[in-house]
Structure 1
Amino acid sequence: MANAASGMAVHDDCKLRFLELKAKRSHRFIVFKIEEKQKQVIVEKVGEPNESYEDFTASLPADECRYTVYDFDFVTAENCQKSKIFFIAWSPDTARIRNKMIYASSKDRFKRELDGIQVELQATDPTEMGLDVIKSRAY
């Protein structure tokens, strides 16, 4: 099973959307899903620049794993506008074991395809990726 999972392809759309988020800031977040039948990672949802962090967390399923990228804007203590790109591996406790294993074994390879990630988080429940956690990891 590990061989099948690590052989997960990454759809070109994933890289394209990530570049749009990174370079043009045309998205606030991207939710990626593994299509098991096609053995590839695809874009499931793209968040508009004006969408909130609550919109982002609401777009994650409660009982299935996902990879996500979130562009977090913040102001530093020196009053500088900054942003950091977060990679969040969403693996809820309620997800099926097989689902968790496939996402876990494919994560590093998928992450390497997205050049420009600054912070990585692993979350098994919403509190592990709350806005307070994001803020504390951004600074």
Structure 2
Amino acid sequence: MAVHDDCKLRFQELKSKRSYRFILFKIEQQQVVVDKLGEPTESYDDFMASFPADECRYAVYDFDFTTEENCQKSKIYFIAWSPDTSRVRMKMVYASSKDRFKRELDGIQVELQATDPSEMSFDIVKGRAL
């Protein structure tokens, strides 16, 4: 599975310049491409609403949080979205390509696998950050 150069470029912009809050990626024509870019001002709810209900996606999310010591921090999450309602063949393609794609994105700190929106709720993401 090829990874379009734009995926790596946009990820670097998210990581170093914080140009985006999140990026959704999809597989089309045997390569991973950028599906949607989330503006820095967008919320976690905006991010959740970006996922199609019945299609797989990869996503990265720049999660800002405050530690118990009152320090501002951020972690980059990688989310593999594979809803139960998506086609079996697509789930297999996404599952088999995930590790290779993730290796292209240097700087992922937390990984989540989700088949249902509740598996990547804000509370779960926040819990994994601390």
TM-score (norm 1): 0.93
**Which residue does 2:9 correspond to in 1?**
16
CA distance in structure 1 between the partners assigned to 2:88 and 2:67 by the alignment: 40
**5+ unaligned residues in a row in structure 1: which ranges?**
1-7
CA distance in structure 1 between the partners assigned to 2:11 and 2:102 by the alignment: 11
Q: Which runs of structure 2 are paired with 1:64-79 in the superposition (5 Å)?
A: 64-79=55-70
Q: Quick one: which amino acid aligns to residue 107 of structure 1?
A: K
Q: 2:95 aligns with which of 104, 111, 129?
A: 104
Query: How many residues are aligned here?
Result: 130
CA distance in structure 1 between the partners assigned to 2:127 and 2:30 by the alignment: 35
Q: Which runs of structure 2 are paired with 1:50-61 in the superposition (5 Å)?
A: 50-61=41-52
CA RMSD in angstroms comes to: 0.4
Same amino acid, percent of matched pairs: 79
The reply to whether residue 29 of structure 1 matches residue 27 of structure 2 is: no
CA distance in structure 2 between the partners assigned to 1:99 and 1:93 by the alignment: 11
Task: Using the TM superposition, give the Cα deviation of residue 43 of structure 1 relative to its aligned residue in structure 2, in angstroms.
Answer: 0.1
Structure 1's consecutive aligned runs of 4 or more residues displaced over 2 angstroms after TM superposition are none
Q: 1:114 aligns with which of 96, 105, 108?
A: 105
TM-score (norm 2): 0.99
CA distance in structure 2 between the partners assigned to 1:99 and 1:55 by the alignment: 24
Question: Is the partner of 1:136 in helix, strand or coil?
Answer: helix
